[in-house]
Amino acid sequence: MSGFRHVVMFKWAEGTTTGQQDEVAAKLGELPAAIPEIGAYSIGVDAGVNPGSYEFVVVADFADRAAYLVYRDHPAHRAVIDAYIAPIVAERAAIQYET
Amino acid sequence: MSGFRHVVMFKWAEGTTTGQQDEVAAKLGELPAAIPEIGAYSIGVDAGVNPGSYEFVVVADFADRAAYLVYRDHPAHRAVIDAYIAPIVAERAAIQYET
């Protein structure tokens, strides 16, 4: 295999509603149609199995690092971050790795 | 699609060596052979693209929540956590979600 994966998790600020979270998921879900460099795009909400878990996750697969960087810096992506994610984030954990 | 994914990231304590990290990867890499409930198992080390990233990640896919729980609580998994991961963890971020 040869690819590049981006994983990011969020915990939301107190008072964040499920509606706000749904909006993040919906807006992110529009990105694969707007950014052809996205290979696979998996969005998830914590299943509630373990205490202390993060609340929201994105696992995104790209052909290579360059394709990831296009996504990272794409105006459509930044717009979702700025308008929907940044206002409600309490904690963020991320990593990128070669698959 | 219908499955269950576990994602966990770690930052290591100061002074952790790449040898110790390699040992964690090697020991975790033995788990799919020992735990048939594991579907896909992806281990990664941060590619160094973004500052503040976590250092190590595991993305594990299971048929369902029950299969994940077998993995979570499996003695072979707990042994790796206890002997190789717990002694060097500084931060841990995890989530489980239905795929």
Q: What are phi and psi of B94, to 5 degrees?
A: -145, 155
**Residues from chain A contacting residue B58 (CB–CB below 8 Å):** none
A56-97 pLDDT, tens per residue? 999 999 999 999 999 999 999 999 999 999 999 999 999 999
The number of folded domains in chain B is 1
A49 touches chain B (CB under 8 A): yes
Task: List the domain range (segments joined by +) for residue A84.
Answer: 4-98
B63-95 pLDDT, tens per residue? 999 999 999 999 999 999 999 999 999 999 999
Closest in A46, A56, A95 to B9, CB measured: A95
CATH at residue B50 = 3.30.70.100
Distance CA(A10)–CA(A90), nearest Å, equals: 7
B42-68 pLDDT, tens per residue? 999 999 999 999 999 999 999 999 999
pLDDT at A1 over 70: no
pLDDT at A38 over 80: yes
Shortest CA distance to B9 belongs to which of B21, B27, B18?
A: B21
**Residues from chain B contacting residue A56 (CB–CB below 8 Å):** 95
A62 touches chain B (CB under 8 A): no
A25-34 pLDDT, tens per residue? 999 999 999 9
